[in-house]
């Protein structure tokens, strides 16, 4: 019996935006490098493991299916030509296999675009590390999941039990993609019923932003505009913005979650406030080294905010909004920097600024796909001086993880850059270790190590 055609599995509006935003010098995948104690497995052994676990993540065998002219929304469809060998690869890190060699190899792999005609993920086995260690480099396109979703995927693919036996492979037959007629009918039905579905969802999910836009939402947004306008008027380090090439620099540093909690207890605020203050100090060092530091200067950062509900763990999509935060690099006192950031973030939360992006996304949900595609591509290709960096803080696994019985010892995050933003910083925790991963344009930021050392100094400045 032939397989049943798959139902229309339309991409969400936000996922679609991330998919269309990618272009030659802006690959929009997230990633990480997980380092393990040895001995390293064989490439074929790791390939078999991932192949056996694919049934846990059906999206890993699906591609984005579009139509010419983008007259219909893209959908997820089973890849009829799926081959695991295209997604699980192997490279040996050059001797002596230290951190410098590891980050250079990883930066080259992260700079390469995923093949948009295949399932949008890759896993790389990195061998040759010093002290008998090895690593797995993971890449997943942002249109598949946000940072928290990516961590959920990790816990599905990796093991919490060091003695876990590899699962038995599950047979799989790709389902035929939905027909153009089915997709057109689905789009028409969705357009006609969208207002009613938003209204029906409002009472049931008041905390998830899955509701019709209410007048008070727009009023809250309007009240925040005056404060937002004032913050946007502050002089920002727009000279950090500029064209982006195809090569990347990637570096990291680590601290302990315990140290961040001690700083929070000593000075107040949240862990995220502390992290932003530390990064502010790092940018201050970078600008001082470039002789660009002035009083009252700010570095404006886009800060993603998760909108996932407590019952949405493991949901393979994006549930994210964002706020704009001014990092006060012109302030010389580290405690005052933290205090200013805490007050700013508290104000943003009170004004529900994060809701604004969700409101716009909901409105765009009924827009013609062609306009969504063109608008997203234009937004990511035209220079913009508003945002100088992206700072994303994601809580990672709190239990030890294993692959083929080998324990993961540390996890370094990668976040993409794009649209004139030459530097992005991801913060990711694993057990008690918190890693800062810094992604930068290769030619524009040759001094990325100044920023990394600045993170270390920023932590020391705030230590109680």
Calpha distance 219→284 (Å, rounded) = 36
In the chain, what are the domains? Answer: 13-180 (3.30.559.10), 206-395+418-462 (3.30.559.30)
- Asked about 142 being catalytic, the answer comes back as yes
What does DSSP say about strands 389-394 and 423-430: parallel, antiparallel, or unpaired? parallel
Cβ atoms 159, 36 nearer than 8 A? no
Burial profile 415-448: b = 16 or more Cβ within 10 angstroms, e = fewer: bbbbbbbbbbbbbbbbbebbbbbbbbbbebbeeb
- Contacts of residue 81, defined as CB under 8 A and 6 or more positions apart, other chains included, come to none
- Burial, 320: exposed, middle or buried (Cβ in 10 Å; 0-12, 13-18, 19+)? buried
The confidence score (pLDDT) of residue 208 equals 46
Q: Which contacts qualify for 108-112: CB closer than 8 Å, 24 or more apart?
A: 108/247, 108/248, 109/137, 109/139, 110/27, 110/29, 110/31, 110/137, 110/139, 110/248, 110/250, 110/414, 110/439, 111/27, 111/246, 111/247, 111/248, 111/442, 112/27
For 240, which DSSP code?
A: G
SS3 253: strand
Q: How many CB atoms lie within 10 A of CB 233?
A: 8
| Cα pseudo-dihedral 457, 461, 462, 463, rounded to 10 | 90
Rg (CA), the chain: 22
Cβ atoms 55, 170 nearer than 8 A? yes
Is it true that the peptide bond before 175 is cis, omega within 30 degrees of 0?
A: no
Calpha distance 245→78 (Å, rounded) = 33
Average pLDDT per consecutive 10 residues, the chain (464 residues; last block may be shorter): 53 82 88 93 94 87 84 87 95 97 97 95 96 94 69 74 88 83 67 55 46 49 56 88 95 96 95 96 98 95 70 56 88 97 85 45 43 43 77 87 95 90 92 96 97 97 94
Unique residue bearing structure tokens 């997203």: 376
H or E element in which residue 102 lies = helix 99-111
As given in the structure block, the two tokens for residue 57 are 């993540």
Catalytic, out of 142, 267, 296, 352: 142
The confidence score (pLDDT) of residue 358 equals 43
pTM: 0.84
Is it true that the peptide bond before 39 is cis, omega within 30 degrees of 0?
A: yes
């Amino acid at each position: 019996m032939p397989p049943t055609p798959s139902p229309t599995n339309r991409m969400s509006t936000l996922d679609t935006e991330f998919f269309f935003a990618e272009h030659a010098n802006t690959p929009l995948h997230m990633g990480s490098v997980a380092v393990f104690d040895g001995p390293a497995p064989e490439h074929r052994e790791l390939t078999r493991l991932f192949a056996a676990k694919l049934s846990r993540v059906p999206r890993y065998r699906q591609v984005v299916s579009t139509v010419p002219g983008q007259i219909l929304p893209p959908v997820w469809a089973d890849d009829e030509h799926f081959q695991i060998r295209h997604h699980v690869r192997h490279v040996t890190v050059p001797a002596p296999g230290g951190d410098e060699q590891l980050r250079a190899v990883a930066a080259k792999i992260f700079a390469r675009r995923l093949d948009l005609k295949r399932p949008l993920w890759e896993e790389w086995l990195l061998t040759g590390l010093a002290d008998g260690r090895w690593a797995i480099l993971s890449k997943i396109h942002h249109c598949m999941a946000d940072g928290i979703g990516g961590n959920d995927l990790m816990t599905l693919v990796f093991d919490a039990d060091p003695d876990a036996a590899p699962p038995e492979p599950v047979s799989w037959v790709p389902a035929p993609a939905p027909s153009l007629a089915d997709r057109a009918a689905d789009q028409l039905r969705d357009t006609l019923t969208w207002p009613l579905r938003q209204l029906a969802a409002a009472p049931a999910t008041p905390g998830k932003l899955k509701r019709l836009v209410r007048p008070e939402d727009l009023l809250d947004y309007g009240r925040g505009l005056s404060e937002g306008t004032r913050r946007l008027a502050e002089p920002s380090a727009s000279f950090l913005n500029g064209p982006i090439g195809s090569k990347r620099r990637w570096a990291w540093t680590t601290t302990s979650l315990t140290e961040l909690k001690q700083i929070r207890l000593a000075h107040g605020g949240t862990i995220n406030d502390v992290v932003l203050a530390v990064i502010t100090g790092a940018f201050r060092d970078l600008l001082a080294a470039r002789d660009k530091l002035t009083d009252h200067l700010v570095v404006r950062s886009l800060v993603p905010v998760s909108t996932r509900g407590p019952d949405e763990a493991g949901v393979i999509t994006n549930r994210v909004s964002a706020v704009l935060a001014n990092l006060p690099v012109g302030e010389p006192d580290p405690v005052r920097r933290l205090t200013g950031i805490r007050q700013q973030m508290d104000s943003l939360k009170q004004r529900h600024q994060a809701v604004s992006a969700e409101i716009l996304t909901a409105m765009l949900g009924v827009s013609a796909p062609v306009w969504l595609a063109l608008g997203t591509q234009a937004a990511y290709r035209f220079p913009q001086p508003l945002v100088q960096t992206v700072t994303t803080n994601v809580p990672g696994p709190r239990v030890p993880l294993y692959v083929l019985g080998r324990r993961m010892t540390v996890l370094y995050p990668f976040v993409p850059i794009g649209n004139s933003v030459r530097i992005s910083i991801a913060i990711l925790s694993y057990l008690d270790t918190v890693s800062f991963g810094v992604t930068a344009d290769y030619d524009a930021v040759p001094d990325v190590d100044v920023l990394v050392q600045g993170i270390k100094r920023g932590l020391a400045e705030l230590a109680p």
